[in-house]
Structure 1
Amino acid sequence: MSNTYFNHIPCGQTLPVNNVHAVSVSMPNLQDVIDYEEQTPEILEIIKSGYPRFILHPYLKQLASYIKEKYGVSDSYEVVLLSSQRAVKLVSDKYYIHNKIEIYEPFGVILVQNGTCQLQRVLSYIQHVGCNLSSRLAEKYLFEKGLIASLHQEILEDKDTSKDIVISTLANAYKQPKENVHLAPSGMNAIYSVVRGINSIQAKNGRTVLVQLGWLYLDTMNIVNHHYQEQKSFPHLDKLELLEEYLKENGLKVSAIITEIPTNPLLKCFDLKRVRALCDKYNIPLIIDTTFATPYNLDLTSYADIFVESLTKFACGNADVLMGAIILNKKHPLSHMNWEFFKHCEPVYIKEIQRLAFQIKDYEKRVKTISSNTKKLISYLEKASFIKKVYHCMDENNKELYSQAIIDENSYCGVISVEFTKPLTQSYDKLNFAKGPSLGTEFTLLMPYTYLAHYDLIQTKQGREHLKEVGLPIDLIRISVGVEPIEEIINEFEKLKNSN
């Protein structure tokens, strides 16, 4: 069965196609993903850009070269660009880098010695904390210096109104005053700022343990590891009695509980009422990453004290803006200390806000369309002969828990994860959807989650055992459902019925 709606996108092409600010990149075959993870020279020639926290944007590479030449930096040092001078101090202090450079630029620069393990540690920390330099700022700088010929053509909202459009939309969606909403240059930077804020407030009260509830997104766990010496993880959401027992002994030592709903990538939910009751009992703030849920599928105002959302996903919808937000619940006593949670956020470049302001206008409509498509796609996939298992927010294990906060019966989270009955080379490889990192796009986007997020664990027996223990299948494919006609999405999957 042919399908002309979806076409093969070559490896290395930006997603969205031909967009220099794209945050995803096409990896149409499993071997492309493996080659990328193993950093083979061939794949590095093809994949020039990708998710900005993981792959250095071409404009940032070009700008770093220019800065190196402009300031006469020795070849024994790598020029690392950051979002601000404050970020320079943060990274320099953490890694005892004293070779800072005196510059007069609208961004931060540090010099890290080449050929040392320190460089990789610095780059990883920047990735986790999300203090990357904006590609749009780099583009403007390079254009004004005559180093690139043109600016990417895109629709932007007016400078004077764009920030208010974004913040007002989020404030209304989360039912909070505008002063309780703050923007960050990425979802990870928003989480970092909240974790730092909680730490500084709660440590004074002897609360020094951060609890992670569920198997969280990789970099959320990394941020916690960087900034909390004491932490406790409860990866199994169906075993809340373990959390309850722990809190009986340690409840007054816990600074916060951080979680996602539903979780990435298995779409698991937990008993919100039970966890909220525990938080109230021990006076523990509950931080929820709402990126998957969105404020239009779940109303979590009765449960969360602090919301964190990656606006790069459903709020943007086009995968060409990197941004995040912190939303404080006015019901929580700590909400009046908003500056403590906001002050660690890096500045957001105005053109990123202008672009998001244009896209966020369709946020609610986009989510409703995706939710409707998701519901229909789940019905199809659960009956498909080529599917081994479907993970979604409204499956028999989740439905009652997810419904504790659901806005209406059609509010399906727009992400599904599946296991195919055949190897990925005979299933994932044969589909012509866009395939690469990220989610929440208006175009259907597939990602071999475990290969891209936990490739290191796949490589060792101990790692594979750990994945088995937390219930994360190696061949899991995450589907971010788009707004295309559902018949066309299903039609593309239909080709797997007869594939060899």
Structure 2
Amino acid sequence: MPGFDLGESIPPHTAHAVSVSLPTWKSNIGYEEGEDWVIGRMATGYPRFFIHRSIQAFAADIVARFGSKNAKAFLFPTRQIAARCVSFVRARAPPAVAASLETVTLVLDTTKQVSEALASLSPVISAVLCSQEAFPFLKQYWQHSGDGVSSRRAEFCHSLFQDGLLCLEDGGATQPPTSPKPCRGPRRYQRGSSIDITKTTPSPKPAAGRDSGPGPDVQETSRFLEERFGRNLDVSFIQPARSAIKRRIAGSLRSDSELTTTPPPENEMASNSRGVVNLREEDVYLFPCGMSAIFNSHRALLGARGNMKSIEFGFAYVDTLKILEKFGPGVVFYGHASESDLDDLEKDLEGGKRFLALFCEFPSNPLLSCPNLARIRQLADKYDFAVVVDETIGTFANVNVLPFADIVASSLTKIFSGDCNVMGGSAIFNPNGRYYEALKRWASTEYEDTYWPEDVIFLERNSRDFVSRIDRINANAEAICDVLRQCPLVKSVFYPKYNESRTNYEACQLPGGGYGGLLSVVFRSREQAVAFYDAVDTAKGPSLGTNFTLTSPYVLLAHYQELDWAEEFGVERDLIRISVGLEETEHIVNVFKAALRVAEEGTGSQQ
């Protein structure tokens, strides 16, 4: 896995990879500065920040067909989401800029002869066309909400568009049909053995091309790739796959064996790691990514309870705060998540202030600190506010936070998937929560399941061994912590086991649960941090929770324009975040020891 070139996708040769290689400290700064020697070489990027090439290509074709010269387009999975984006931009952009917005919604052309499998997917793309000046405003909505189209949806619908199988929602044709033959949709929906071919898939010889059917060796390879990576989409398995994902998230794990189309017994959910016997599959909601889960949890609470400010408790991931700031009446930020912060909050509550909800992470990113959820729950019950906990880093295999929360959100892109090739998010409504009925009423009319079926198939297959991977990752993370904590170059190591908030973590820790696979390290000097980062022989790029170790100068990437502000909350600008993978423990420990030696030899030990 290590040894990526600048701008190469992580994992390599993966069409829908979630991360990208930024192998040196300088390349991370170059990325933030928008320097062409970095940006120009990026095959991909983290999907909410870097618009995937397949999405860009489809957007360009939509603009060419429906837009004006120099227009841009952002693609969304439904007309309603596109409308929310337009409302967001019109509230913030100058009137002349907002006036450039136009929405085009494309749906399956039902006048054409299409397969039942294709029709059952009801593929939709809603494009917001805009001027160059409006682009940054739309990009904010895309990044913060996480509600843009996935790259697989865009790739699939683009092929429909090119084949004349999408039409305008009002019935207008997008292009004349190219052939009188019946159109059944993309090839992988026409026969059971078709696959998406990537660079890692052997190509058939010309004599045995795709139209004439692959030879025996290629058929065998295709079968393996379909079984391992879900490249063939059998629509009869989409709902069972959704069900399996939801039950895993609920802590009611299904077998790792192949799915069947037989619905599972409802009473399977009575036994789960969440400690809530009345938890149902319908209480778990899926989203296209983790930020979409946070964004829509906030929308749900605003819809269920009305417009009130929220609280962000602790220094959390950057876009959570942006969502609370920009959507709704605002946010109060308690950046340290300390007991004294809780004291201050309690005084405000006693003084009559009221809030919509408290949002927190457990543990937080990147300091791995944990708030006192028991005390927060007591305050919430007394002063009538909701609690939303993002458990992405802790994972439900290590901790159980649902009894303390009204909503538990998670990014399934991370260790739940592990393979770094699909996005996803989830939110659980606690059936015992005070606002459960109001939230369910909101969801009955406002929730849209926009999680694209191909992404569902990938995530289901990736997550079958989720729990078995956690133990290895927990052990590797502790071993790396031990190495870093013994090194004289290291100023601080942040990890739930060693933080001051350890007791808060352990209050939610499951029997047999570990301390997670994410840690952060701060060196005594920037020179040491740079030397270590450049030398460490791991994958290096954005994201976390991958099955391989992934290292990142996280604060540079997340807070480059606000480094001084971040340091006010103990988040040092040269902090390095390490997401630990499944490598052999001895090997990954030696990788970190070698990088520390390079840092020490290159800079000297500044104790």
Question: Do residues 482 (structure 1) and 576 (structure 2) align?
Answer: no
Task: Give the structure 1 partner of residue 312 of structure 2.
Answer: 212
Q: Is the CA contact 1:128–1:223 (under 8 Å) kept in the aligned structure 2? A: yes
Aligned to 1:313: 414
Shift of 1:228: 2.6
Shift of 1:223: 0.6
Q: How big is the shift at 1:338?
A: 2.0
Match of 2:130 in 1: 112
Aligned counterparts of 2:454 and 2:513: Cα–Cα separation in 1 = 34
Residue of structure 2 aligned with 1:169, choices 230, 236, 248: 248
Q: Structure 1, residues 401-441: CA drift from partner, whole Å, max 9, x if none?
A: 21111113651121000012452331101111001111011
1:329-368 to 2 correspondences below 5 Å: 329-336=430-437, 337-341=439-443, 343-345=446-448, 347-368=450-471
Partners of 1:189 and 1:345 within 8 A in 2: no
CA deviation profile, 1:128-155 (whole Å, cap 9, x unmatched)? 0112111111222344548999834552
CA RMSD, Structure 1 to Structure 2 (Å): 2.1
Letter aligned with residue 448 of structure 1: P
One-letter amino acid of the counterpart of residue 288, structure 1: V
Partner of 2:238: 159
The letter for the 2-side match of 1:432 is D
Structure 1 128/497 Cα, relative in aligned 2: closer, same or farther at 3 Å?
A: closer
Match of 1:471 in 2: 570
**2:399 maps to what in 1?**
298
Structure 1 residue 327 and structure 2 residue 432: aligned? no
Asked if 2 retains the 8 angstrom alpha-carbon contact of 1:190 and 1:345, the reply is no
Q: Cα distance, 1:23 vs. partner?
A: 0.9
Q: Does 1:283 pair with 2:301?
A: no
The residue type paired with residue 495 of structure 1 is A
- Cα-to-partner distance string for 1:66-117 (whole Å, 9 max, x where unaligned): 222233x221321221222111111122323564244434211111112x1x
Residues 1:48 and 2:66 aligned together: no
Q: Summarize the alignment of residues 80-229 of structure 1 with structure 2, pairs less than 5 Å apart.
A: 80-96=74-90, 97=98, 99-105=101-107, 106-114=124-132, 116=133, 118-143=134-159, 145=162, 151-152=196-197, 155-156=229-230, 158-171=237-250, 172=252, 173-174=273-274, 175=276, 176-203=279-306, 208-229=308-329
User: Does 2:558 align with 1:453?
Assistant: yes
The amino acid of 2:480's aligned partner reads L
SS at match of 1:107: strand
- Report the Cα distance in structure 2 between the residues aligned to 1:366 and 1:146, rounded to whole angstroms: 42
TM-score (norm 2): 0.76
- Residue 286 of structure 1 aligns with an amino acid whose one-letter code is V
TM-score (norm 1): 0.92
Q: 2:373 aligns with which of 272, 284, 300?
A: 272
Deviations 1:380-408, CA, capped at 9 Å, x for gaps: 22112332210001115122121111113
2: CA distance, partners of 1:497 / 1:162: 44
Equivalent position SS for 2:303: helix
Cα deviations across residues 331-382 of structure 1 (Å, max 9, x unaligned)?
1132233242573456111000010010111111122221122222222221
- Stretch moving more, 91-100 or 159-168: 91-100
SS in 2 for 1:250: coil
Aligned to 1:461: none
Of the three residues 235, 244, 247, the one matched with 2:349 is 247
Structure (1 or 2) with the larger CA radius of gyration: 2
Greater CA drift, 184-193 or 149-158: 149-158
Following superposition, the deviation at residue 216 of structure 1 comes to 1.7
Matches of 2:533 and 2:104, distance apart in 1: 49
Gaps spanning 5+ residues in structure 1: where? 1-5, 459-463
Q: Tell me how far apart the structure 1 counterparts of residues 551 and 373 of structure 2 sit (CA, whole Å).
A: 29
- What per-residue deviation string (whole Å, max 9, x for no partner) do you get for residues 292-345 of structure 1? 111111111321111000100111101111111110111113223324257345
Structure 1 contact 68–79 (Cα < 8 Å) conserved: yes
Q: Which amino acid aligns with 1:477?
A: I
Q: Contact 1:193–1:345 at 8 Å: present in 2 too?
A: no
1:159 shift after superposition:
2.6
Q: Distance in 2 between matches of 1:152 and 1:289?
A: 36
Residue 400 of structure 1 is matched in structure 2 by: 503
Letter of the 2:131 counterpart: Q
* Structure 1 stretch displaced more, 192-201 or 418-427: 418-427
User: Contact 1:9–1:432 at 8 Å: present in 2 too?
Assistant: no
| 8 Å Cα contact 1:81/1:108 also seen in 2 | yes
Identical aligned residues as a percent: 27
